[in-house]
Amino acid sequence: MKSPVVLITGASQGIGAAIAKSFASEIRGVRLALVARNVRHLQAVARVCTRLGAEAEIFPCDVADEAAVATLAAVVRRRFRAVDVLVNNAGVFAGAPFAEMKVAEFDRIIATNLRSAFLVTRAFVPGMRRRQRGDVFFMSSIAGRGAYPNGAAYCAAKFGVSGLAQVLRAETKGTGLRVCCVYPGATWTPSWAGSGFKSERMMPAADVARAFVDVYRLSRRSVVEEIVLRPDAGDV
């Protein structure tokens, strides 16, 4: 597809920013809709993508807020008319023992990781179905395949993301849409800074990002349903 429109949530840093840069450098003429809450960081990512040859626009939005997502969808449609590739990447992590996790913190993690994916996908998939073409990516995690201590909210959210992807794939099979759920292991992003963990033990965000571009580039006769990526050094 010439000049596809790629919308990426959580695009202000980490894997989301890496996905934006990967599309900008690999797909000629790509138009990027970069979505996150941090305007300054979004602007910085957009500048890099523009230098790489992309057309990049920023759309500040809290994607866990239903009204904000409705506004986002209207603004993006006015600017780009349609979205060809949707990357549900927005997420946040916080851990605590099951019995000690505050309800508000549980709700925040579920909303940012899971509710956001539902709201944004619901906003843009109908247009893809009408055009009978589109790619939808869901960012899960290895935490969405196997639970671990102190991860009640995050694991629940990422298991939920996996479920959303499977339902959407079942409901859109044969319609021209492709749905891929990505499960990265430990990936070095700014959120790990100061944690004490060594970046050499983790995957670079650029490697995870490249997987999205490679899946998109496949012929329309092929669907990659799931991708599991783990650091060679083992999980952190």
Q: Is 84 part of any domain?
A: yes
Nearest to 225 by CA among 186, 175, 168: 168
Chain position carrying tokens 């800074």: 193
Alpha carbon distances (Å) from 235 to 154, 166, 209 = 16, 25, 19
**What does the pLDDT look like over 154-212, one tens digit per residue?**
999 999 999 999 999 999 999 999 999 999 998 877 766 665 676 677 899 999 999 99
Does residue 25 fall inside a structural domain? yes
| Average pLDDT taken over every residue of the chain | 94
pLDDT of residue 234: 63
- Is a pLDDT exceeding 60 seen at residue 236? no
Residue 32 belongs to a domain: yes
Where helices occur in the chain by DSSP H, the ranges are 14-26, 39-51, 66-80, 103-110, 116-131, 152-172, 205-217
Q: What's the full length of the chain, in residues?
A: 236
Residue among 212, 7, 37, 195 nearest 111 (CA): 37
Q: What is the pTM of this model?
A: 0.94
pLDDT in tens, 127-155: 999 999 999 999 999 999 999 898 999 99
| Residue 222, in any domain of the structure | yes
Tell whether 234 is covered by a domain.
no
Residue 98 lies in a domain: yes
Residue 236 lies inside a defined structural domain of this protein: no
For residue 99, the domain's CATH number is 3.40.50.720
Q: What is the mean pLDDT of residues 112-122?
A: 98
Beta bridge partners of 135: 85, 178
Residue 204 placed within a domain:
yes
How many structural domains compose the chain? 1
Q: Say what angle helices 14-26 and 39-51 make with each other, to 10 degrees.
A: 20
Given the structure tokens 């060594």, which residue do they identify?
198
The answer to whether 161 touches 117, Cβ cutoff 8 Å, is yes
Per-residue pLDDT reduced to its tens digit, 20-77: 999 999 999 999 999 999 999 999 999 999 999 999 999 999 999 999 999 999 999 9
- The reported pLDDT for the residue numbered 54 is 98
Residues of the domain holding 48: 5-229
d(CA 219, CA 223): 9
> What would the DSSP string read from start to end of 99-161?
GG--HHHHHHHHIIIIIHHHHHHHHHHHHHHHHT-EEEEEE--GGGTS--TTBHHHHHHHHHH
Q: For residue 200, what pLDDT is reported? A: 72
Residue 4 has pLDDT above 70, yes or no: yes
Q: Which segment of 82-96, 99-113, 179-193 scores lowest on mean pLDDT?
A: 179-193
Looking at residue 23, the DSSP 8-state letter turns out to be: H
